[in-house]
């Protein structure tokens, strides 16, 4: 598995292309903006874009979906139906899907938004705006903050320290480093 990082300069958000090299298939996580660089990475490597995984429905994480749908035929996975309307495969709770011949785990993690989802592939968690290097996501109430902290503790901090965290904004980090700053 290879992970390619792309910066959405409009929303300063991260987009990730995760490639299963054996199957020549890929998934893209949080396509806030589709650049020529992203398309070139897919096309130059003859990849099949199998799916789009959305961590939450904010423009800087979803605005590129329509462009991808014009070029490819990926399945769209999100916790909010409004991400792609009837083409959204809505995920709820915690579970797993098989996409691009990879097992992808998902965990509902509301707090930052009601539809926040963490995606896990191998030893990487794509945390969206739930958890960043050195901080957690913003919330709009003390209750949402309580829910977010609870989800971080039970769903993320219960994982092994060597897990890599790829956030929706900012640099990647490890779970051990995140625990050092947030506990």
Residues of the chain with pLDDT under 50: none
Complete edge-to-edge strand list for the sheet that includes strand 88-90: 2-8, 13-20, 25-29, 48-53, 75-78, 88-90
Q: What was the pLDDT predicted at 182?
A: 78
Distance CA 181, CA 26 (A): 33
The pLDDT of residue 81 is 96
| Per-residue pLDDT at 183 | 57
| Per-residue pLDDT tens over the stretch 119-167 | 999 999 999 999 999 899 999 999 999 999 999 999 999 999 999 999 9
DSSP 99-149: ETTEEEEEEE-TTSSTT-EEEEETTEEEEETSEETTEE---SSHHHHHHHH
| pLDDT for 83 | 96
**Pairing between strand 131-132 and 135-136?**
antiparallel
Give the residue among 125, 128, 138, 109 at the shortest CA–CA distance from 175.
125
Residue 11 pLDDT: 85
- Positive or negative, the CA dihedral 13, 180, 108, 147 is negative
């Amino acid at each position: 598995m290879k992970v390619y990082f792309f910066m959405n300069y409009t929303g300063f958000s991260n987009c990730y292309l995760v490639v299963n090299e054996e199957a020549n298939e890929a998934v893209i996580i949080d396509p806030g903006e589709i650049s020529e660089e992203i398309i070139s990475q897919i096309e130059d490597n003859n990849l099949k874009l199998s799916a789009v995984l959305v961590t939450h429905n904010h423009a800087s994480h979803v605005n590129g979906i329509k462009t991808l749908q014009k070029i490819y035929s990926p399945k769209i996975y999100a916790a909010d139906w409004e991400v792609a309307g009837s083409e959204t495969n809505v995920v709820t709770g915690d579970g797993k899907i098989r996409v691009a011949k990879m097992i992808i785990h998902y965990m509902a993690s509301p707090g930052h938004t009601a539809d926040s989802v963490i995606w896990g592939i191998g030893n990487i968690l794509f945390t969206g705006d739930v958890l960043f290097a050195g901080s957690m996501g913003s919330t709009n109430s003390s209750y949402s903050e309580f829910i977010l902290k609870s989800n971080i503790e039970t769903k993320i901090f219960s994982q092994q320290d060597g897990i890599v965290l790829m956030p929706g904004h900012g640099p990647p980090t490890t779970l051990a480093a995140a625990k050092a700053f947030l506990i």
